[in-house]
Chain A
Amino acid sequence: MPRMKKVCKLCERQISQVDYKDEHLLSRFITDRGKILPRRATGSCARHQRQIALAIKRGRYLALLPYIRDYH
């Protein structure tokens, strides 16, 4: 049985370049612990997943996003 095809959220919204400053958007692609979500969880296309990963790493460096959240 063919599974329902997931569509990349960023392709749907026609975002050509992921902005590392947009932590509101990027926060949808990390877990509640701050890890980058895999493509199988988000359905992102390869091109956008690469951009997302890079943007999240830049966002972390700028303290817009956490490296780890709620770790005790």
Chain B
Amino acid sequence: MNKYEIVYIFRSSLASEELESKLENFHSLLTRDAGQISAVEHWGKRQLAYPIDKERNGNYVVAQFETEPGSLPDFERILKLDDQILRYLIVLSEGELPIPPSMRRESDDRPGSGYGAASRESSKDAASKPDGDSEDVASEPDTESEPDAGSEPDTESDDADGESDAGSEDAEETPEEESEVTAEEAPEEEERPPTDVASDAEELAAPVDEAGEAEEAEERSSSDA
């Protein structure tokens, strides 16, 4: 016995009574050999992300069931023959809920197991706003961890940009500090031997050394960045 989940997409023109009888028919195939249907969830009419068989809308039904793997080929053959099914997908259930979290609010508003497509549409619209709020709440920890990117916390790409900018700034700052330190300290040490020999030589040598140090520092910073 395995746990499965199936998503059907029916043609939106299919009447609800017909749909119910079809579902009953399909599920009887599964339950015949000690299989069990644990959940059936009607999502109602939804717009498809792309047209399937020239249909722009589909009627989604999700069901979870338990059955022997051997009964699936027969089941699938029946589904393939039904031309009212635009598409179906059977997957091994991994503990997913029949309704995804983003639709859960809508399901709370839903009156019973009612099947009115029009009321479903309106309740979906109403539910879309609370969903947006909840997403904002969920993304708040991001803004806390990245105060620089706080102005645009919504989308992934913005976060990524803000972070990478902050990173590059850090990379630029620290090598500059290092180069300052080396430019100040190192030349002074090297100046001392020349002072013993000649003051003219010192004046000539010191700028050259400083320039060399600065170049080295620049190279180092560029390689770091």
A60 at the interface (CB under 8 A from B): yes
Residue contact A41 to B156, C-beta cutoff 8 Å: yes
Shortest CB distance A50–B (Å): 13
Shortest CB distance A19–B (Å): 5
Contact flags (1/0) for B130-171 with A, using CB distance below 8 Å?
Answer: 010001001001100110000000011100100110110011
A25–B135 CA distance with the chains assembled, in angstroms: 9
Q: How many A-B residue pairs have CB under 8 A?
A: 78
A17–B163 CA distance with the chains assembled, in angstroms: 27
B101 at the interface (CB under 8 A from A): yes
CB neighbours (8 Å) of A21 from chain B are: 7, 62, 96, 99-100
**Which of chain A's residues has its CB closest to B164's CB?**
A3
Residue contact B163 to A64, C-beta cutoff 8 Å: no
Shortest CB distance A16–B (Å): 8
Interface residues of A in 1-19 (CB under 8 A from B): 1, 3-4, 6-7, 9, 12-13, 17, 19
Residue contact B174 to A19, C-beta cutoff 8 Å: no
Contact flags (1/0) for B84-97 with A, using CB distance below 8 Å?
Answer: 00010101001111
CB neighbours (8 Å) of A62 from chain B are: 7, 9, 60, 87, 89
- Chain A: interface size category: 20 to 34
A58–B52 CA distance with the chains assembled, in angstroms: 15
**Which of chain B's residues has its CB closest to A31's CB?**
B157
CB neighbours (8 Å) of A61 from chain B are: 87, 89
A24 at the interface (CB under 8 A from B): yes
Shortest CB distance A38–B (Å): 10
CB neighbours (8 Å) of B48 from chain A are: 63
B58 at the interface (CB under 8 A from A): yes
CB neighbours (8 Å) of A22 from chain B are: 100-102
A53 at the interface (CB under 8 A from B): no
Shortest CB distance A33–B (Å): 12
**Which of chain A's residues has its CB closest to B5's CB?**
A21
**Which of chain A's residues has its CB closest to B47's CB?**
A63
A6–B161 CA distance with the chains assembled, in angstroms: 12
Residue contact A63 to B87, C-beta cutoff 8 Å: yes
B49 at the interface (CB under 8 A from A): yes
A: which residues have CB within 8 A of B?
1, 3-4, 6-7, 9, 12-13, 17, 19-25, 28-29, 37, 41-43, 58, 60-67
Q: Which 6 interchain pairs have the tightest Cβ spacing?
A: A24-B102, A22-B100, A63-B48, A21-B100, A66-B49, A3-B167
